[in-house]
Amino acid sequence: MKKFVSAVAVSTMALTLGLSQNAAAQQQGIDLNWGVYAGLVQPLDDLADKTDLGFDLGVRAITPTPNILPRLSLGGSVDFAYLTGDDNFLDYDVYLVTVKALGHYQIPNLPLYAQLGVGTQFWKEEWDGTVTIGIPGFPSTTIRDSGDDDGTEVGISVGIALQATPNLEFLLTHESFSYADDLRLNVVYNF
């Protein structure tokens, strides 16, 4: 639990630092675009055995880099995802906090861009369940299991976004971390 609380604290500090950097960047005339997003998380692989469809919320900042490549933008994001479900008799709750560095590449002549992210994911898993096993002629036995686990993983995400309006986009990403492997569909609002 301490690691998860620390992960949330680090994410909050990163967001606060990002907001203060945005204020400083605007004073220096740097174009820093903020966006907030929310959407659905479809677990894959081992995570799909324990959980069902979940949701995520996040914030990101992107800045164009005309001196490097005209169509490339760099930035970062912080997001929180929650998934719940069950496996056999155990109920699971999974919390994911992800901090990523992002690169966006605008696809020529289309309202699409490709996204690549590299980051760190802080995860926490909690489980709880009770099952009663009975054999005719013998007393039944109740088994109870509960606990939690947490960790930190490094991984990547790849995605593609459709720019519906200057402020609204739809983003599909595949997050690939050692613990959590999932697909995310987000609606992003850019300020």
Digit-coded pLDDT (tens) for 54-76: 999 999 999 877 666 778 899 99
What pLDDT score was predicted for residue 166? Answer: 85
In angstroms, the CA 2 to CA 30 distance is 37
Residue 149 has pLDDT above 50, yes or no: yes
Q: Which of 38-52, 132-146, 149-163 has the lowest mean pLDDT?
A: 132-146
What pLDDT score was predicted for residue 3? Answer: 46
Residue 151 has pLDDT above 90, yes or no: yes
What pLDDT score was predicted for residue 132? Answer: 81
Name the β-bridge partners of 90: 87
